Amino acid sequence: MALLQHPGYEEEKLQRVAEQLPCREVQAGTLLALMGQPQQYSYPSIFIYGHRASGKSHVMNVLLKELELPHATVSCVECVSVALLFEQVLLSFFGCDAASLLPRSPSLSDFVRIYREQCSQSPARQTRYIVMEKAEILRDTDANLLPALLRLQELVEDNVTVILLSEIVWDTFRPNTGCFEPLLLNFPDYSKGELQQILSQDRHPSYSAEFYSSYINILLGVFYSVCRDLRELRHLAALNFSKFCEPLADGKVKETDTHKLWRNIEPHLKKAMQTVYLREVSSLQWEQIQQMEEKEAGVLRGLSAHTHVELPYYSKFLLIAAYLASYNPARTDKRFFLKHHGKIRKTNFLKKNEKTSNHLLGPKPFPLDRLLAIFYSVVDSRVAPTASIFSQISSLVTLQLLTQVSHDDQLDTPKYKCAVSLDFICAISRTVSFDIMKYLYDFL
Amino acid sequence: MSKRKVQNDHMPSGECVTQLQTILRKRLCHQQLPEKLEGVEAQHKHLLELLKQTAIHGESNSVLIIGPRGAGKTTLLKCVLRHLLEEKEVQKNLLQVHLNGLLQTDDRIALKEITRQLNLENVVGDKVFGSFAENLAFLLEALKKGDRSSSRPVLFVLDEFDLFAHHKNQTLLYNLFDVSQSAQAPIAVVGVTCRLDVLELLEKRVKSRFSHRQIHLLSSLTFAQYLERVRAQLSLLDDFPETKFAQNWNAGIETLCEDKSVKEVLQRHYNSSKDFRSVHMLLMSCLSRVSVAKPAIKPVDLLEASRLCLADAKANMLHGLSILELCLIIAMKHLNDIYEGEPFNLQMVHNEFKKFLQRKSNSMYNFDQPVVMKAFEHLQQLELIRPVDGSSAKTQREYQLMRLMLDHSQIMEALQKYPQCPTDVQQWAMSAFG
- Please give the average per-residue pLDDT across A229-258, as a whole number: 88
Helix (H) or strand (E) holding B44: helix B41-57
Min Cα distance B150 → chain A (Å) is 31
CB B54 within 8 A of CB B316: no
DSSP B77-100: HHHHHHHHTTSHHHHHH-EEEEEE
> How far, in Å, CA of A83 to CA of A102, rounded?
8
Work out the angle at residue B303's Cα, subtended by the Cα atoms of residues B300 and B304, and round it to the nearest 5 degrees.
85
Secondary element (H or E) of residue B349: helix B346-360
* CB B413, CB A202: distance < 8 Å: no
C-beta atoms surrounding B93 within 10 Å: 18
Which of A226, A244, A425 minimizes the C-alpha distance to A325? Answer: A425
CB A157 within 8 A of CB A119: yes
Distance of CA A26 to the CA centre of its chain: 28
pLDDT at B148: 43
Alpha-carbon gap, residue A89 to A97, rounded angstroms: 12
DSSP state of B157: E
pLDDT top residue among B31 and A43: A43
Measured between CB atoms, which of B21, B195, B320 is closest to A189? B320
| Cβ pair A7:B18 closer than 8 A | yes
| Beta strand B187-193 pairing with B214-216 | unpaired
CATH superfamily of A34-186: P-loop containing nucleotide triphosphate hydrolases (3.40.50.300)
The predicted pLDDT at position A341 comes to: 61
Domains and CATH numbers, chain B: 18-23+221-310 (no CATH), 41-216 (3.40.50.300), 315-433 (1.10.10.10)
Phi, psi of B99 (to 5 degrees): -120, 150
- pLDDT tens string, chain B, 434 residues long: the values are 344 433 444 667 788 888 889 999 988 888 778 777 778 889 999 999 999 988 888 888 999 999 999 888 999 999 999 999 998 888 888 889 999 999 999 888 898 888 888 887 766 655 556 667 777 777 767 766 654 456 788 899 999 999 999 998 998 898 889 888 876 678 899 999 999 999 999 999 999 999 999 999 887 788 998 999 899 888 888 888 888 889 999 999 999 999 999 999 999 999 988 888 888 899 999 998 888 888 888 899 999 999 988 888 999 999 999 999 999 999 999 999 998 889 999 999 999 999 888 887 566 778 888 899 999 999 999 999 999 886 656 778 888 999 999 989 999 999 999 988 888 888 889 886 54
Q: Which residues 6+ apart lie within 8 Å of A298 measured at CB?
A: A271, A274, A275, A281, A289
Query: Which of B109, B277, B368 is opposite residue A109, by nearest beta carbon?
Result: B109
Domain ranges of chain A: 34-186, 192-305, 313-443
Q: According to DSSP H, which parts of B58-146 are helical?
A: 73-84, 88-93, 107-117, 121-124, 132-146
pLDDT, chain A, mean: 87
- Which residues in chain B are contacts of A184 at CB distance < 8 A? 308-309, 313
pLDDT of amino acid A217: 92
Residue A271, φ and ψ in degrees, nearest 5: -65, -35
By CB atoms closer than 10 A (0-12, 13-18, 19+), residue A380 is: exposed
Query: Which chain B residues in 249-278 lie under 8 Å from chain A, judged by CB atoms?
Result: 277-278
B320 touching chain A per CB within 8 A: yes
Residues B221 and B274 sit within 8 Å (Cβ to Cβ): yes
CB atoms A109 and B395 under 8 Å: no
Question: How many residues are recorded in chain A?
Answer: 444
Chain A residue closest in CA terms to B278: A181
CA B262 vs. chain centroid, Å, equals 24
Nearest one of A105, A56, A112, A65 to A83, comparing CA atoms:
A105
Give B347's contacts in chain A (Cβ within 8 Å). 359-362
pLDDT digits (tens, 9 = 90+) for A102-133: 888 889 999 999 999 999 988 888 899 999 99
User: Facing residues of B42 across strands?
Assistant: none
3-state secondary structure chain A: CCCCCCCCCCHHHHHHHHHHCCCCHHHHHHHHHHHCCCCCCCCCEEEEEECCCCCHHHHHHHHHHHCCCCEEEEECCCCCCHHHHHHHHHHHHHCHHHHCCCCCCCCHHHHHHHHHHHHHHCCCCCCEEEEEECHHHHHHCCCCHHHHHHCHHHHHCCCEEEEEEECCCHHHCCCCCCCCCCEEEEECCCCHHHHHHHHCCCCCCCCCHHHHHHHHHHHHHHHCCCCCCHHHHHHHHHHHHHHHHHHHHHCCCCCCCHHHHHHHHHHHHHHHHHCCCCCCCCHHHHHHHHHCCCCCCCCCCCCHHHHCCCCCHHHHHHHHHHHHHHHCCHHHHHHHHCCCCCCCCHHHHCCCCCCCCHHHHCCCCEEHHHHHHHHHHHCCCCCCCCHHHHHHHHHHHHCCCEEECCCCCCCCCCEEEECCCHHHHHHHHHHCCCCHHHHCHHHC
Cβ neighbors of B307 (< 8 A, separation 6 or more) are none
Residue B158, phi then psi, degrees to nearest 5? -110, 100
Distance CA B213, CA B208 (A): 12
- Look at A177 and B29 and tell me if their CB atoms are within 8 Å: no
Burial degree of A176 (CB within 10 A; 0-12, 13-18, 19+)? exposed
Distance CA A430, CA A318 (A): 14
Q: A50–B285: do the CB atoms touch at under 8 Å?
A: no
Rounded CA gap, A338 and B264, in Å?
Answer: 77
d(CA B124, CA B122): 6
The answer to which of A73-77, A93-97, A224-228, A296-300 has the lowest mean pLDDT is: A296-300
Cα–Cα distances in Å, from A136 out to A146, A401, B383, B389? 10, 33, 11, 20
Cα–Cα dist B259/B279, whole Å: 17
Out of A334-343, A431-440, B199-208, least confident range: A334-343
d(CA A330, CA A415): 14
Spatial CA neighbour of A111 closest among B100, B306, B407, B49: B100
Kindly indicate the confidence band of residue A255, based on its pLDDT and cuts at 50, 70 and 90.
confident
Tell whether B29 is within 8 A of chain A (Cβ): yes
**pLDDT given at position B2:** 40
Considering only residues A350 and B216, tell me which one the structure prediction assigns the higher pLDDT.
Answer: B216
Please report the ipTM that was assigned to this predicted complex: 0.91
Nearest to B29 by CA among A59, A156, A41: A41
Q: Is B62 helix (H, G, I), strand (E, B) or coil?
A: strand
- Check CB contact under 8 Å for A154 and B17: no
Helix (H) or strand (E) holding B187: strand B187-193
Which of residues A353 and A339 earns the better pLDDT score? Answer: A339
Residues of B with Cβ-Cβ distance to A39 under 8 angstroms: 22
DSSP annotation of B214: E
Distance, CA of A255 to CA of A207 (rounded, Å): 9
Any residues with CB less than 8 A from the CB of A346 and at least 6 apart, and which?
A: none
> What is the pLDDT, as a whole number, of residue A295?
55
Radius of gyration of chain B (CA): 30
Distances (CA, A) of A75 to A55, A146, B271: 15, 14, 38
SS3 for B251-306 is HHHHHHHHCHHHHHHHHHHHHHCCCHHHHHHHHHHHHCCCCCCCCCCCHHHHHHHH
Pick the residue with more confidence: A1 or B58?
B58
Helix (H, G, I), strand (E, B) or coil at B60: coil
Q: Name the residue type at position A217.
A: N
Say how far apart CA B58 and CA B71 lie, in whole Å: 30
Q: Which chain B residue shows the shortest CA-CA distance from A11? A: B1
Q: Over the stretch B96-123, which tens digit does the pLDDT of each residue have?
A: 999 999 999 988 889 888 888 888 776 6
Per DSSP, the three-state class of B335 is helix
Average pLDDT, stretch A77-105?
A: 89
pLDDT in tens, A380-413: 888 888 999 999 999 999 998 999 887 766 677 7
pLDDT for the residue A186: 93
Contact A34 B365 (CB under 8 A): no
Look at B383 and A172 and tell me if their CB atoms are within 8 Å: yes
Instruction: Find, among B89, B144, B92, B96, the residue nearest to B116 by Cα.
Output: B96
pLDDT reported for residue B138: 78
Distance between CA atoms of residues B152 and B93, nearest Å: 6
Long-range contacts of B132-138, Cβ-Cβ distance < 8 Å, separation of 24 or more: B132/B107, B132/B171, B132/B172, B132/B175, B133/B171, B133/B175, B133/B178, B135/B111, B136/B111, B136/B175, B136/B176, B136/B179, B137/B179, B137/B183
| Angstrom distances, CA of residue B302 to CA of A182, B257, B297 | 18, 11, 8
Which residues are B64's β-sheet partners? B191, B214
- The CA distance from A24 to B141, in Å, is 62
- The closest alpha carbon to A283, from A300, A266, A261, A264, belongs to A300
**How much is the pLDDT for A160?**
93
B347 has a chain A CB within 8 A of its CB = yes
Amino acid, res. A193: G
Instruction: Find, in chain B, the residue whose alpha carbon is nearest to that of A45.
Output: B29
How confident is the model over A125-144, as pLDDT tens digits?
889 999 999 999 999 988 89
- Among the partner residues B26, B102, B291, nearest to A147 by beta-carbon distance: B102
**SS3 call for B213:** coil
A109 with B113: Cβ contact below 8 A: yes
Q: How far apart are CA A111 and CA A82, in angstroms?
A: 10
Contacts of B277 in chain A (CB under 8 A): 180-181
Q: Which residue of B has its CA nearest to A46?
A: B281
